[in-house]
Amino acid sequence: MSKLKLWKQDPFGHALWIKKLIIRTLGMLTHRRYRGFNNLHIEGSEIIRSLPERGVLFISNHQTYFADVIAMYHVFNASLKGRVNSLKNIGYVWRPKLNIYYVAASETMHAGLLPKILAYVGAVQVSRTWREKGKEIHREVNPDDIKNIGIALSDGWLITFPQGTTSPWKPIRKGTAHLIKTYQPIVVPIVIDGFRRSFDKKGVTVKKKGIQQIMRIKPPLEIDYENESIEEIVEKVAFAIEQHPSFMKNNKDS
């Protein structure tokens, strides 16, 4: 006889009631960072409401470790609760979507208490294959990491940052293209700006107030999963999140 669970869990064994409590608490603590002394300009909330319950991969440029992801949790939940490009009325965090996950480096998520708390909310932790503790490395992809990404997509929505770094204009990692071909998710691009000017690199400390933050949610990409090559998908992702070199001369801070 299998052991009876005392409460519902996500596929990674995290209690849903604890996730809900953390999301509510963090939501209330961080709301003014995006609708208060800073103002997050949102585009595309109608796209969020049109998506299925699971099998969605969000791809985005990356500016801070945590503020970007927290903002997406705000925007996704507000949009699902009927807010139109707005975070008005914090009540949307009371019953949050609990099957939102995000890809994060294991090294980052073990660096202190706050990252460990954030990891419980929905981090799919992976081992970097190219960098560790500030040094260049060469490591084989861990099959368990790929499996866990598939589990997250099967259960809900997954956020990933294809450049694997908060530095702008870095190349797209081919691993993202491999995941797209393997799991064939709906791929929704997001472009953010202003977070690097608002927060420190970790996205914890407010660096400057009154910054115009931007989050643009774009329509899902059209991808031929069977016939497009890895290189073609990489190119398509770079253009979608506006990190292709052709964008560089027009925007120095993405």
* Residue pLDDT, tens place only, 56-76: 999 999 999 899 999 999 999
- What's the average model confidence in pLDDT over 190-202? 93
State how far the Cα of 89 lies from the Cα of 74, in Å rounded to an integer. 11
Name which residue leads in pLDDT, 139 or 1: 139
Q: With 70 as the cut, is the pLDDT of residue 133 above it?
A: no
- Binned at pLDDT 50, 70 and 90, residue 129 comes out as low
Q: With 90 as the cut, is the pLDDT of residue 39 above it?
A: no
Name residue 189's amino acid.
P
State how far the Cα of 14 lies from the Cα of 19, in Å rounded to an integer. 7
State how far the Cα of 17 lies from the Cα of 23, in Å rounded to an integer. 10
Q: What are the residue boundaries of the structural domains of the chain, listed by start?
A: 16-133+140-247
Q: What pLDDT was estimated at residue 16?
A: 97
- What's the average model confidence in pLDDT over 79-104? 96
Q: What pLDDT was estimated at residue 38?
A: 85
Looking at residue 229, the DSSP 8-state letter turns out to be -
- What's the average model confidence in pLDDT over 196-215? 91
Query: For the chain, what percent of residues have pLDDT higher than 70?
Result: 89
Q: Shortest CA distance to 211 belongs to which of 34, 24, 46, 77? A: 34
Give the CATH architecture of domain 16-133+140-247. Answer: 3-Layer(aba) Sandwich (3.40)
Exposed/middle/buried for residue 218 (C-beta within 10 Å: 0-12, 13-18, 19+): middle
Q: What pLDDT was estimated at residue 2?
A: 42
Q: What pLDDT was estimated at residue 250?
A: 63
Q: What pLDDT was estimated at residue 252?
A: 52
Token pair belonging to 190? 């997001």
* Residue pLDDT, tens place only, 219-254: 999 999 999 999 999 999 999 999 987 777 666 555
Q: With 70 as the cut, is the pLDDT of residue 135 above it?
A: no
SS3 228: coil
Q: Shortest CA distance to 149 belongs to which of 37, 22, 55, 70? A: 55
Tell me the pairing of strands 186-193 and 212-217.
antiparallel
